[in-house]
Structure 1
């Protein structure tokens, strides 16, 4: 009996894993849809219970209103990036290449004189600068803008198809409101029914805690970073803080991306009298992100990752890097929820074999 008890769940999990690996795009769409449906379900249910002229708002209308709320939120957040993008376009359109060449000519000349002084090169004076200038011009000329535009179009098409697929799946998940779960449970044999219900419930609770904690983490990082950068007088503080909060979804690499983005924006949009001003700006930005990182490591991540999914930090570390190996950045983001599903399922079935009377009687 023990062998049969473990063989069935293992075969089911193996089949699900193979299906997810072979149809990776569909699996990604389904996972995103399940997460989005879990986030939108409370709002959709409240809107569905609301009465207008004595009648419930139709569920499909409540879903569309929930979609509209998400789209409005995304539009409002994207408005934070428009001033920065416009500023960068103006900077690029007003670049004086000859002026840049003249600015770098002096330090390059000093470096070349130092090389000549110690007889490390034997070229004529000014040769190093001309080589750098020529290489830069060749690099610009070698850019295939047609290929870049084609890649952008292909990427945009793929993203659009993915968004439509996720929106379509999420709509029906919200419309049926638990029908998928009930149908899955109906396929489970009676000896495993009670155990499967307990597993589903525990997985849903842990994932709900994880998503709630993740939202609170994003909100906390955005608040701390925006407040710190504003106090330090860094331009586009809200934009940098929003990017850092979203990038932090990528474990370990996210904080580095956020700090790098803040440094690039700070240097490209600031007016500096000398190199000391640039150094002071870097110190201010790194100080803010240092506080953010300490807060995240000491308070937020242990609470969210270890407590919400009830896993050891070393497990989380290994799982995240395994996800990165399998699916890159998306693998790192979804590694913990997927691992939680498999981990809880296996543990519940193991505990069920030890605890449930039906298995003891049959064994």
Structure 2
């Protein structure tokens, strides 16, 4: 009985602790999301900053150059997608003529095969239209919040790069002298894991964007550039991103035009792209940089989506890779390293 009560007590404490920990993580998103993003991107740019400093550039200027470079790169991606979306919106009236008959067919099928009534849909539409003002206000607030977090991320990146050696010494000083070498090794390993994974993913997305653009462009898919870029960017979300990218390509490339040739081209392009990614690019470009079990990876991505949305899905894998590297060097946590790793 005493042993059973102890197990029950420890289990209850663990569940309650995990619940409040997750609650704190969710509530801390406005602070943690831009800060963790800045940490990951700083680790990505660390080799560039070190190279500039070896060439005689001061640390402040090297950090500033890297920050501006990342900022301009992100603006370039945003400008490319914005231009393509503007072109797509300009052609929306033509696409609407193609897509509306298909939507009406789906609606009629739902009305005849499910308990849904037309009156229910109309009532929901009228209720949603009455809240358009609130939705517009919410969009404006979300935009200003995103803009603030976006700029704050690059401010964090500059200071993290500029004071990186101070932060490194701080973490090493937290541990006794006989552990300092091991701590230094862990810090270097986590940085290498993040750099290798993100740089490999960047090259992978670049190759996939080119493959998708060529395939869908030859197939006559309209707005193939924006579809290719979005689908390639989504591959940063393991496993799930490829599915979302394919669905978006079908929605923007086929449903809006109704061209069967475009559908065949999209399916063929993504089939070739996934083959090249899985068997050629992924093993040699990304490799086993994070060495994570596929099931654990999917679970963590889903949990990240629930807690932080798209940002949680993107950050989950590199952060889990960093945690797994730490687990491999801490003896009490090595069972977690065994659970998270691919290797037996």
TM-score of the superposed pair, with normalisation by structure 2: 0.73
Determine which structure has greater relative contact order: mean sequence separation of CA pairs < 8 Å that are 6+ residues apart, divided by chain length. 2
Q: Mark the CA change 1:84 to 1:165 in structure 2 (over 3 Å): closer, same or farther.
A: closer
For structure 1, the residue ranges without an aligned partner over 5 or more in a row are 1-13, 51-55, 121-127, 354-363
CA separation of 1:197 and 1:73: change in aligned 2, threshold 3 A: closer
The verdict on how the C-alpha distance between 1:188 and 1:21 changes in structure 2, with shifts beyond 3 A counting, is farther
Q: How does 1:90-109 map to 2 (within 5 A)?
A: 90-92=90-92
Q: Structure 2 residue aligned with 1:36, among 29, 34, 41?
A: 41
Larger Rg: 1
Q: Indicate yes or no: 2:320 matched with 1:349.
A: no
Q: Which residue of 1 aligns with 2:166?
A: 179
* Counterpart in the other structure of 2:272: 291
Can you list the C-alpha shifts for 1:237-296, whole angstroms capped at 9, x where unaligned?
2221111111111222212222222233324764xxxx6xx2222121121112222333
Deviation at 1:145, TM superposition (A): 2.4
Report if the CA contact (8 A) 1:195-1:352 is conserved. Answer: no
- Superposed, which structure 2 residues align to 1:1-363 within 5 Å? 23-50=28-55, 56-92=56-92, 135=122, 138-139=125-126, 142-267=129-254, 270=257, 278-301=259-282, 307-350=288-331
CA distance, structure 1, for counterparts of residue 313 and residue 51 of structure 2: 33
Q: 1:83 to 1:264 in 2, by over 3 A?
A: farther
- Equivalent pairs, count: 305
Is this contact kept in 2: 1:305–1:311, CA < 8 A?
A: no
Q: Deviations over 1:65-118 (max 9, x none)?
A: 3333333333333343344333343345x5799x89xx85xx87xx89xx8xxx
Could you say what the CA RMSD is over the residues aligned between the two structures, in angstroms?
A: 3.9
In structure 2, how many angstroms separate the alpha carbons of the residues matched to 1:236 and 1:22? Answer: 38
What is the CA-CA distance between 1:45 and the residue it aligns to? 3.8
Q: CA deviation at 1:328?
A: 3.5
Show the counterpart of 2:7: none
1:351 deviates by 9.5
Give the TM-score normalised by structure 1: 0.70
Whether the 8 Å CA contact 1:81–1:239 is kept in 2: the answer is: yes
Work out the CA distance in 1 between the residues paired with 2:95 and 2:292. 55
Per-residue deviation, residues 114-165 of structure 1 (Å, max 9, x unmatched): x8xxxx9xxxxxxx9xx68x93995497253211211111111211221232
Structure 2: distance between partners of 1:87 and 1:289: 23
Aligned residues of 1:225 and 1:292 also touching (Cα < 8 A):
yes
Q: 1:216: Cα distance to partner?
A: 1.9
> Structure 2 regions of 5+ residues with no counterpart?
1-17, 335-344
Q: d(CA) in 1 for partners of 2:159 and 2:309?
A: 29
For the residues of structure 1 that align with 2:131 and 2:28, how far apart are their CA atoms?
33
Preserved contact between residue 43 and residue 191 of structure 2 (Cα < 8 Å): no
- Residue 283 to residue 317, structure 1, CA distance change in 2 (3 Å): same
Post-superposition shift, 1:352? 11
**1:303-359 CA deviation, whole Å, 9 max, x = no partner?**
677611223334433433343444343332222222222222222122999xxxxxx
Query: Are the counterparts in 1 of residues 44 and 199 from structure 2 also a CA contact under 8 Å?
Result: no
